[in-house]
Structure 1
Amino acid sequence: MQMNFLKKTNIPQILFLILVLSSCGNNNKPKEKTVSTIEDTLPKMKPLGREKRLPANYIHSIKGSINHFYTKNWPNNSMNGSFLVARNGHILFERYNGYANKNEGTKITATTPVHIASVTKVLTATAVLKLVNAGKIILDQKVNTILKTFPYDECTIRMLLSHRSGMRNYAYFTDRDKSVWDRHNQLTNKDILEILATKNIGLEAPVGTRFAYCNTNYAMLALIIEKITGLRYKEAMYQMIFKPLNMTNTYVFDNEKDRKKIVPSYKGNNAEIGFDYLDCVYGDKNIFSTPRDLLKFDRARNSPDFLKPALLKEVYTGYSNERQGQKNYGLGIRMINWETGQNFYFHNGWWHGNTSSYITLMKEHVTIIALSNKMTRKTYAIRKLAPIFGDYPFKFKEEAE
């Protein structure tokens, strides 16, 4: 029976089929390995871990001072947002007030993600710095070695991070000329790069010659993150920062998936602010988060595992002081540098009706965060809390009375 089968069967065909099947099996394995390798090789943030506990009498005494500030800044719980103060990662004081969505009657809670506006830049810069730290890119690498169509030859990653590229703000050059962009269409990061490459958009200043805060820088940094990681910015941020730090209420806005479920923003008169053509650009904005999640992020940035010491020093070096002064900008962080040697690190944000403020008092291990989805400048007043923790020359006592 077996002999008859062999006689009727073309043995070379059988061998060929075996080789093809074997080859197909081998081809499948690298594909699976490639997908997992992208995530496995990404540099990721690490939690700081357990910090020193605070004495109960200290917590009790400091709460009174913070509450005093809170009731003066937001009388009658008038804040429409969230507020948190922590030391050594332990929450000293937090409040959540107002509407997440007025039409639906939902209130803001500790787990309500609010648009953090330009505080997003701190997170984008963190992802870029982790890529630098891992040797995947170099701070002084030319941008056009990564984004091939980027037209400004001398611009580097460091210049994007420190706002020294000389580029114009995309919100301006896409708003005024229909031949550049039709505002009926949603603008994306890739669209901005295409416009820069093809529309002869001039610079505000020669590359590297002066500081000028500009959202275009961080839209380009988001594209660099995508190019280097092989992932969408949204996924890269999740894999590198949100997931390892257990930031469960933080995400990058996705216009297709999140448009109907996000926390909207409001004008000061409670009128809801709708979407516009700039709402799909990310990297400079478009992260939604909570104070508790941002606390996890802040403590991880204060971990010895965050960056190598030499690189960390460059992050907190000022790059915007052509004229001698106290205000300065590092690599993705604002700062105030006093002659006494005291330094104050922070970042504020504003987008539509959302305002945000993130403060990290590094020497005192203090984190102060305020987020609001209703237009107000009171969010930025939280810096007045710094003097109760250290030698910061803000007028806490006089202005809080």
Structure 2
Amino acid sequence: MRISRYIPILSLFLFLSCNDKNGKNGNNPNDTVLLAEKYEVSFPKLNSKYTSDNKTFVENFYNKHYNPKDFSGGLLVAKNGQIIYENYSGYAYKEKDDKITAEKPIHIASVSKMLTAVCVLKLVDEGKIALDKSVQTYLSTFPHAETSVRMLLNHRSGLRNYAYFTDDKGVWNKKQTLTNQDVLDILATKPIGLESKPGTRFGYCNTNYALLALIIEKVSGKKYAKVMNEMIFEPLGMKNTFVFDDLKKKDEVSQSYKNNYLRLAFEFLDQVYGDKNIYSTPRDLLKFETATYSDAFLSKKMKAEMFKGYSYERKGTRNYGLGVRMLEFETGQTYFFHNGWWHGNTSSLVTLRKENVTIISLSNKYTHKTYQTKKLAAHFGDYPFKFKNEGNGAD
């Protein structure tokens, strides 16, 4: 495949705004913007007044809630694929005086699940994976015949988290690096058991996405990192995004820190991917999120499967689609997002589908500030959040 024909032109329009100053909602219906030649997305351009007013609002929000002198990471807010505001501060690798910039990849933690899910759904579009087939169809040694691919994607598999069952006596020697294949082998050979019967309830579990990465490898005959490059990163021009799958290269990537800049060591779980271990930037993630509006990138059928809830056994607003969290309000509004937390890395990607607004926050120095994205969402849409006494929202 020649990559050159898929080079995106998103960068040509990210900072553009039209000169119509009369638009009340920021839109000029006569203008469109494109993501890429292959993945065209038609969005109105933002007028200068809308951009200026909202840039000021978000900048004030950033200065109030993030404290640039202390925050290590990036915040980006966009509408219609066009950046309204972005800011970067702190260090990717403090000991090397390597500062975070718009081009510096940092660990996006569980936001990686969104990208893994889209890769799986694209393979479903290609007829290589079937959502309701047993996981055993693709991973023959997997021990639970009733567990489907869809159950891995929406966390209804009932599986235990590999980060926990590797703590069980006799299961794993923590002096050895754990791999995705090891996770499968443990499930196949050890009496790990289930948290619940497959398909009966939601249970967020990193094991699901470690197995999905193996399924991607099985049906493609290629490593997960290569498939992600070929199907997502390269076609979308995500030049600063990659899968970290080799602990021998741990000194070559951005580090993670406690909130006092004490560097956190890599450990035996840090080579498992699919659930985590994608490094990226807010700008690259904007390209990915914008592409999800394109029917050429992901079919309408797969988007419908992705952005709907699957868990209604308990009352409440919280739900999960295929690789995306959501809050379903009685007002009819649905808030789509995914948060992440791994070591000192925290992340949040918000995709307001009704308003075409994207909010991305990444940090590599432990903080709950990353999850302030929810407060920004309430500015751009009618989301009835109650912020008092809320949790940190981490995964």
| TM-score bracket for this pair, using the shorter chain length | 0.7 to 0.9
Residue aligning to 2:153: 161
Q: Could you tell me whether the CA contact under 8 Å between 1:350 and 1:356 is conserved in 2?
A: yes
Residue aligning to 2:176: 185
Aligned equivalents of 1:293, 1:336: Cα separation in 2? 25
Aligned equivalents of 1:260, 1:292: Cα separation in 2? 24
Q: Could you tell me whether the CA contact under 8 Å between 1:162 and 1:329 is conserved in 2?
A: yes
Residue aligning to 2:338: 347
Output one character per residue of 1:334-361: Cα deviation in whole Å (capped at 9) or x when no partner.
0000011101000000000000000001
How far is the alpha carbon of 1:211 from its aligned partner? 0.6
What is the number of residues matched between the two proteins? 355
Amino acid at match of 1:264: Q
Q: Percent identity?
A: 57
Distance 1:181 1:257, change over 3 A: closer
Residue aligning to 1:132: 124
Map 1:80-91 onto structure 2 (within 5 A).
80-91=72-83
Aligned equivalents of 1:174, 1:133: Cα separation in 2? 35
Structure 1 position 100 matched with structure 2 position 102? no
The answer to which of 213-222 and 249-258 deviates more is 249-258
Residue aligning to 1:70: 62
Residue aligning to 1:323: 314
Aligned equivalents of 2:84, 2:268: Cα separation in 1? 40
Residue aligning to 2:301: 310
Output one character per residue of 1:266-291: Cα deviation in whole Å (capped at 9) or x when no partner.
00121100011100100000000000
Per the alignment, in what secondary structure is the counterpart of residue 251 of structure 2?
coil
The answer to which of 306-315 and 289-298 deviates more is 306-315
Residue aligning to 2:190: 199
Of Structure 1 and Structure 2, which has the larger fraction of its residues in helix?
1
Q: Could you tell me whether the CA contact under 8 Å between 2:351 and 2:359 is conserved in 1?
A: yes
* Ranges in structure 2 where 5+ consecutive residues have no aligned partner: 3-35, 391-395
Q: Could you tell me whether the CA contact under 8 Å between 2:338 and 2:350 is conserved in 1?
A: yes
Per the alignment, in what secondary structure is the counterpart of residue 357 of structure 1?
strand
How far is the alpha carbon of 1:255 from its aligned partner? 1.5
Q: Could you tell me whether the CA contact under 8 Å between 1:384 and 1:395 is conserved in 2?
A: no
Output one character per residue of 1:101-142: Cα deviation in whole Å (capped at 9) or x when no partner.
111111100000000000000000000000111211111011
Distance 1:353 1:166, change over 3 A: same
How far is the alpha carbon of 1:182 from its aligned partner? 0.3
When the two chains are superposed, the root-mean-square deviation of aligned CA atoms in Å is 1.8
Q: Could you tell me whether the CA contact under 8 Å between 1:348 and 1:380 is conserved in 2?
A: yes
Residue aligning to 1:364: 355
Amino acid at match of 1:346: F
Output one character per residue of 1:274-325: Cα deviation in whole Å (capped at 9) or x when no partner.
0111001000000000000000000001112233333322212211221121
TM-score, normalisation: structure 2 = 0.87
Aligned equivalents of 1:58, 1:133: Cα separation in 2? 37
The answer to which of 253-262 and 267-276 deviates more is 253-262
Amino acid at match of 1:87: K
Aligned equivalents of 1:285, 1:202: Cα separation in 2? 23
Q: Could you tell me whether the CA contact under 8 Å between 2:68 and 2:89 is conserved in 1?
A: no
Residue aligning to 1:113: 105
Structure 1 position 144 matched with structure 2 position 136? yes
Aligned equivalents of 1:62, 1:285: Cα separation in 2? 32
Q: Could you tell me whether the CA contact under 8 Å between 1:48 and 1:299 is conserved in 2?
A: no
Structure 1 position 243 matched with structure 2 position 234? yes
